[in-house]
Amino acid sequence: MKKIFTLLLSILFVSQLNAQTISENALDGVLYIKVKINTTVVIPYFEKGMDKNILSRFPILQNSVDKYEVTKIYKPFKTKEINLQNIYRIHFNKIQDINQFKKDLGQMDELTYIEVAPIYKLSAVPNDVHANQWYFNLIKAPEAFDITTGKANIIVAVVDDACKISHPDLNPSIYTDPLEIAGDNIDNDGNGFIDDVHGYDVADSDNDPEPPASHWMYNITQDVFTHGTHCSGIMGAATNNSVGIASIGNGIKVLPVKCTANSSIMPTSIGEAPLGVDYAVASGADVISMSWGGAFNQVVADAVNAAHSAGIVLVAAAGNDGDTTTTYPSALPGVISVGAITKNDVIASFSQRNPTIDVMAPGDSIWSTLRPNNGYGYMSGTSMACPMVAGLCGLLLSYDSTYTPDMIEACLKSGCDNIDAINPTTVGQMGAGRVNAYNSLMCMTTGVNAEFSNSNQLKLYPNPANDFINIELSNFKANRIEIYNNMGQMLVNKSVDANSSSYIQINTADLKSGLYILKVSSTTSTISNRFIIK
């Protein structure tokens, strides 16, 4: 019966899709264009009803108003970053002519690229019920909470389909913008969004990130518009409140970013991913969780790069195709890519496995909050592993918010448990291993106050290191170089000639990915303890 139901659902979904869309991987009637950064070109705002002569400086765009029934041209991103501020979004009605429209736009010398508006698959797959929150002990969450719990000043954005902020186990954890005044129709905090007290719906351009009250698919299955709610519970459900479940974030705040329109015929996908990332940046998120993925798209890459430049920790699901293919945004530089394991530390059958993955986390039969009836249920996928790592990153930042994204990633990797022996066929395709919250926090406690005031006498490069790291000294004669891991174990102990120690090269090829402490000393003093990222 279950197979028949699933087949009927698939047939209905595909028929709706084919009846109403040109492409299942992109929004109909939407294109992004990017103006070259080294030009002074500014395309004026245009919408239907305005005189198209306002576009006379750009004949191709002017002609497109009638040719493709263009209804709007505007800058969609609020983040004040040049790579996003040069991007424009075009809405048009003749959706069947999209390929010709792209060719016409390609004749504009002012443009860097033309991109579709991508639709990304949510990285969750259904599965059977297992023991409730089995993963907590596996990742050493209780031990980590002995060191620290999450802090309310750390904001983790869940860029997803929707989030049921009224769920009793989520409501206490939902971020409240202290500068925004609800209902006054004013952008009080100046982030470009009006009345976004508890997050935002970038797909419907309103301040309600909740799932829609009704949708045609609710009559068939309740497993739609619940993905973001499930992810939110994993990362940040209220903990120690005698309600429902605990979360790895244990006190951090969840910023809901809704990226699927209420009227979407594809509520199992993300339609406004780049706008969602942009909102998280504009709202001051510390971590962004992205439980979705697909093919490379330059607009999404620009949005993610802007977030990384803003100092935000980025976490993404590696994908659920169960093969070695690469998905995005997880494979982008600066993004922590997360694969999924089962309760036995075995890589999940659905999880991607490839060299772009950074860490693994529990993702099989994860119990968390759901949309229907403020309930709870099990979901599986790298979608579930992603918010577990995002919530953990929030916990790490709660301990020390001065850590950079690269330092957080280094301690995250340094703390991982090696699971190669259990997964011999995927060695080298699971990143640093399965996350261990306690070990990663121990990495941070070891590194506290590691930088000394006289560290300007020492330069390190490249850092992050590859097979070698170079050390340059000024006004100091070193005779010993030592490198320690996060547990205080000495891994490198090298004597150097004090008379020729202004430039030293250390072989780091044998060090695994992680965070290390470099100690440079003479016979009388220590010049500096410095972080090395490998």
SS3 392: helix
Picking from 289, 279, 254, the residue whose alpha carbon sits closest to that of residue 155 is 254
Checking 449-454 for CB contacts under 8 A at 24+ apart, the result is 450/517, 450/529, 450/530, 450/531, 451/528, 451/529, 451/530, 451/531, 452/526, 452/527, 452/528, 452/529, 454/527, 454/528
Query: Rounded to an integer, what distance in angstroms lies between the CA atom of residue 44 and that of residue 65?
Result: 13
Q: What are phi and psi of 31, to 5 degrees?
A: -135, 150
For residue 412, CA distances in Å to 244, 435, 438, 483 come to 27, 7, 10, 19
Residue carrying structure tokens 């709007």: 72
Residue 249: which H helix or E strand, with range? none
The residues that are catalytic are: 160, 227, 383
Q: Which residues contact 398 (CB under 8 A, 6 or more apart)?
A: 148, 149, 150, 151, 154, 251, 252
Query: Rounded to an integer, what distance in angstroms lies between the CA atom of residue 357 and that of residue 142?
Result: 26
Query: Rounded to an integer, what distance in angstroms lies between the CA atom of residue 253 and that of residue 391?
Result: 10
First-residue to last-residue Cα distance in the chain: 52
